[in-house]
Structures are given as structure tokens and as C-alpha cells.
A and B are shown apart, each in its own frame.
Chain A
């Protein structure tokens, strides 16, 4: 029983980390149709920039805000330089471009910050919590809470605001959106800026648990992406649920079967989902007339 509880706790912890990345993926995908494989690197930039500010003496809250702003700016620059001029090429080429951006940002990260892992003290300093035989890192709870808050905020943003409806329209039908006066190019810039800010938040939240290095973005990015595909690429809550599922799958298969195979099992599930429910487990029927 204790074991089960520990696996659930750990599964939700890593799942929340992946979910934070998945949110960024879905945001860009929903608005532009592009899979942004540099999403993990936005997390890395946010984390390392925040650490740099903290180590320079800036108070924590200011460091966090500046780090998010800088990451968002870099997201905007990436969109305006690498994506904008390739807008009319195929989506595949755009995806490859984001992979190139990811490599570039990773290289810059290495040059600027080196290879040693860097630490960030948690906002709330607490001892690990013991609950039903499992050990919970308080930062994990914080991550989970922020995840839920982000879900709520993004829900309100996309579903209840005017600009949110414009973004949703743009994703569905960019041509018709243009006829409304919506500039898909501006929306794309907005998408990347938002995704970079979300990525930075993810990175800053994760670092007290995992420490920050220039290469931290890759694996969590991939898992976040897998979560998004499993849960439903068009819905932010779906992607979050998918990512949490990935975390739990990983943990349970590692615990009950073997940690040698947990990655393989996760990818097997991904393939099965793509086979049977390609729109994702949690995708509802869209309001589309046949």
C-alpha cells in the first residue's frame, strides 16, 4: 500500500513536470498548427536566467518575473526570425526549423552557463512531507497547484476573452480569420511569446527539484509532447491529463515491471493510442459538420 502511494505521488510529480511543458506545446499547436520542439529550451532559458538573477542578488520574485519576460522575448524573436519567413512552407519544414532552433538555444545555453547543474531554492522551504507511507516533496505540491491555476487561467483566456476567441478562430480557419481582420502572423507571434513564457514558468518551477542544466529541456519536452499526443492535441486540459498519465505510466511500469523498460512501455502506449484513438484519449468530437 505504501508502495502504491509512493508510485502515485512520484507519478503525479513527474507527470506535472511534463504537463507544464505540454501546455506550451498545445498553445503553439492550437494557434499555429506548428509543433514547437524548442519548447523544452524555453523552460531551460527561463530556469537558468532566473538563477542568474538570483545569484546576482535580485529578490526571488523580481528574478522570476524578469526571467519570464526574457524568455517570452526570446520566444518572440525566434518566431520573427525563424518562423515568420517560413510561414508559407509546409508544416514539416516548420517543425524541422523548430528542431534547429532547439539545437541553437541549447548550444547558447552551454556557452553561457556551462555544464555544472545550477540550483534554485524553493519558494517555500519545507521538509519532505510523509503521507500514507509516501514521501512528498513540497515543491511537487506547489507545481501541481500552479498547474491547476494555469489551466484555469488559460481556460478563461481562450474561452472567455475576445482575443482568445480570435486565437481559436485563427487555428480553425486562418483564411476566414484573415477576412475578419485577424492577422495570423500576429497571432503566431503571440502564440510563441505565450508559449515561451509558459515554458519559463515550467522551468522555474521544476528547477528546485531537478536543478538546471543546458540540456534539461530535451527529455521533459519529449515527454510533454508524448503527453499531449496521448491526451489530445487540441485541448489544454486533455494534454495535461495525458502528461499526468505519462508520469504515472512511467512510474508504475518502473515500479512493478522494471525501470529498464519503463520508457519502452510508455512509447508502446503512445503507439496504441495513436492506433486506436488518434485524436487523443480525451478528445471530444469537434463541432464539425461532415
Chain B
């Protein structure tokens, strides 16, 4: 279980996140939705260790991960697939994937080939691109690569920052299917941050709505999907009721 306990983050002097509380149970996909600038990316970056929270703690299966730099956090089992894919465009697909295991490579070198095979089975379209430079792939393929890379370290929880951004609906569905596979076959916890609320609500178990750095609504998928505030604010459909 990932427990986020009263986490605040400042960037410079500005407080971006205000005392965030939530948790992700084993086997869950949690979606975090909100408008542009609400603080979604900041939240994920804080969880991943790119920012240091100015208050509160983050624990992953009772191991404190807040206060550690990003390269240590991934060792502890939290993997972030950052906004914009951020694959290494000057490296091949294979090199990109293998680097995903960097935190564990020298201890578990034998696992490298095994993990690679497993990930390529999940993302068969990458198989033919193994020797191509990451920068030469299409947007959708790069996103698959980024997710695959994030899974190479066998994380306990994987965070995805707006994976659907700039991608065609067909590919978005593929990504959502992949998330289900991750949850069901790998048993990895997932946090999905999305502006595409429809997509986010399709796969999650729990959802949190974040606005101006605060969690304003939370609930199960059904609760959130039928919440009138959510519907009018984010789904763009005016509901009959109040």
C-alpha cells in the first residue's frame, strides 16, 4: 500500500500542494484527475522524489520514501512514467528498456533478459523496433516504450503522468488495456494522472479530483462518475439534477 500523509510541496516560495492525503491499496488503479495546473504533475513528481515535500510523509508498504532523491525512490519500488514520455531519444529501444532496470541491474543482471522478454510480450509492437533509436518511434510507440521502461524494474507501484497526451483514441485504448494487464497480471499498483477524464475513469478503482493543489473530491469509480460536480466540471455534460 502507498500512503500519502499530509504532503505539501513548495516550488520556490509558492505552495503548490496543500496537505494531500490519499492511499493506494494493493492491486488498485487510482486515477487523479483535474484541470491544467491543478498540481497533478507536481504530485507525481513529489511522490517520485523529484521534489522534496515540505511537509508530510509518503510510505510504500511501510517503508518511508519521502525525503529521498528520485534515484533512490525507484530503488524502493516506485516508478514514474513522466509527462511527455521522456524516453532517451539517442538510445535504442532495447537500451531504453534495459536502463529501466538500472536501479536493480548490478544486483539482478540475470533478470534483465527475463524482464525484457516479459515487457516485449506486453508490447509486441516494440519487438520490431529493438535496434531503432527511441527518437524515431511514433508517439504511441514511444508511450508504450516509456511504460515498458517503467515496468522493467518490477516496481511495486507505477505512476503515469498523462500518458494519453497527444495520442489518437485508438492508442489511448491500447494504453488503458495495458493498465488493466499491469493491474491484473503483474499485480502492480497504478496511479494514473489524466486530463482525459473519460479515459481515467474507465479503468480505475478509486479516483481523486485535485483542484489548486487540494483534493476536493474522492470516491470509487462509480461514485465519481455519477458525481454531478465532476460531470459538469470535467465531463462537459450538464446533468439534470443539481
Contacts and interface: CB of A to CB of B under 8 A. Distances in A.
Determine direct contact between A and B, CB below 8 Å.
yes
Interface of A: 162, 165-166, 168-169, 172-173, 175-183, 286-289
Contacts of A177: 88, 99
Given A162-B105, A169-B99, A175-B50, A181 B71 contact: yes
A175 B161 CA distance: 14
A202 B69 CA distance: 37
B144 to A, nearest CB: 15
B90 interface: yes
B71 A287 contact: no
B90 A286 contact: yes
12 contacts: A165-B98, A165-B99, A168-B91, A177-B99, A179-B82, A180-B71, A180-B153, A181-B71, A287-B89, A287-B90, A287-B134, A288-B135
A175 B82 contact: yes
Tell me what chain A mostly uses at the interface: helix, strand, loop, or mixed. helix
Contacts of A286: 89-90, 135
B77 to A, nearest CB: 11
A178 B71 CA distance: 5
Contacts of A181: 71, 74-75, 102-104, 153
A53 B130 CA distance: 50
B87 A176 contact: yes
A180 B89 contact: no
Interface residues of B, number: 31
A178 B49 CA distance: 9
B69 A178 contact: yes
A172 B90 contact: yes
B84 to A, nearest CB: 10
Contacts of B80: 179
A221 B187 CA distance: 55
B70 A179 contact: yes
Interface of B: 48-50, 69-71, 74-75, 79-80, 82, 86-91, 95, 98-100, 102-105, 133-136, 149, 153
A23 B194 CA distance: 45
A178 B103 CA distance: 10
Pick from B91, B98, B103 the residue with the most CB of A within 10 Å: B91
A179 B149 CA distance: 10
B86 A180 contact: no
A124 B149 CA distance: 51
A165 B93 CA distance: 12
Contacts of A175: 50, 82, 86
B95 to A, nearest CB: 5
Contacts of A179: 48, 50, 70-71, 74, 79-80, 82, 86
A33 to B, nearest CB: 14
Nearest to B135: A287
A176 to B, nearest CB: 4
Contacts of B135: 286-289
Given A175-B82, A178-B50, A180-B99, 12 more contacts: A166-B102, A168-B91, A169-B88, A169-B90, A173-B86, A175-B50, A175-B86, A177-B99, A179-B50, A180-B71, A181-B153, A287-B89
Contact of A162 (B49, B70, B98, B136): B98
A176 B82 CA distance: 8
Contacts of A169: 88, 90-91, 95, 99
Pick from B89, B99, B136 the residue with the most CB of A within 10 Å: B99
A162 B69 CA distance: 22
A179 B91 CA distance: 16
A34 B34 CA distance: 39
A172 B89 contact: yes
Nearest to A165: B95
A287 B99 contact: no
A286 B88 CA distance: 12
Contacts of A173: 86, 88
B87 to A, nearest CB: 7
> When A and B form their complex, which 8 residue pairs have the shortest distance between CB atoms, in order from nearest?
A181-B103, A287-B135, A287-B133, A176-B86, A178-B70, A181-B102, A180-B102, A169-B88
A286 B102 CA distance: 24
Contacts of B134: 287
A284 to B, nearest CB: 11
A182 B99 contact: yes
Nearest to B159: A179
Contacts of A172: 88-91
A183 B102 CA distance: 10
B89 A288 contact: yes
A22 to B, nearest CB: 20
A288 B91 CA distance: 11
Nearest to B86: A176
A289 B211 CA distance: 33
